[in-house]
């Protein structure tokens, strides 16, 4: 069956460290993969999009990798801050259309 897996356990890290979140998928061949941030009571906010032919994408303190062989994307936040605390969702486009399927998200808590 098709699955998108993100660590359901919360990730706690110390301020200033690099946070690394994982998104694994099975039985998909996505053309695009996106990462979103969601705060409690709010809709998700788009962060980054990476295409299947791109290995890495960066935006300020954020970095996303996309390994289509391992069927995995890693999301890194460098020099993390308490304001980065949120739930992070990965989403993939299974058919190359603009429709995305979302993972359940990983809650990140950055400790001051």
Partner 1 sequence: GAGVSQSPSNKVTEKGKDVELRCDPISGHTALYWYRQSLGQGLEFLIYFQGNSAPDKSGLPSDRFSAERTGGSVSTLTIQRTQQEDSAVYLCASSYMGDGYTFGSGTRLTVV
| Interface ranges with partner 1 (CB under 8 A) | 32, 34, 36, 41-49, 89, 91, 97-105
Nearer to partner 1, 28 or 100 (CB): 100
Please answer whether residues 59 and 47 qualify as being in contact, where contact means their C-beta atoms are separated by less than 8 angstroms: yes
Distance CA 68, CA 85 (A): 28
Centre a 10 Å sphere on the Cβ of residue 104 and count the other Cβ atoms it contains: 12
Smallest distance, Å, CB 83 to partner 1?
20
Smallest distance, Å, CB 38 to partner 1?
9
Nearer to partner 1, 42 or 83 (CB): 42
Nearer to partner 1, 10 or 79 (CB): 10
The token pair that represents 16 in the structure block:
């200033």
Write the CA distances from 81 to 19, 68, 90, integer angstroms: 10, 30, 20
Distance CA 38, CA 15 (A): 19
Smallest distance, Å, CB 17 to partner 1?
26
Smallest distance, Å, CB 96 to partner 1?
9
Nearer to partner 1, 18 or 104 (CB): 104
């Amino acid at each position: 069956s098709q699955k998108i897996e993100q660590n359901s356990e919360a990730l706690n890290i110390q301020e200033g460290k690099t946070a690394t979140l994982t998104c694994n998928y099975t039985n998909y061949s996505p053309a695009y993969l996106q990462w979103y941030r969601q705060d409690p009571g709010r809709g998700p906010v788009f962060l980054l999009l990476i295409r299947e032919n791109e290995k890495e994408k960066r935006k300020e303190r954020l970095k996303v990798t996309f390994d289509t062989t391992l069927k995995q994307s890693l999301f890194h936040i460098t020099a993390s801050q308490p304001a980065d605390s949120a739930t992070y969702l990965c989403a993939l486009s299974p058919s190359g259309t603009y429709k995305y399927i979302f993972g359940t998200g990983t809650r990140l808590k950055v400790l001051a």
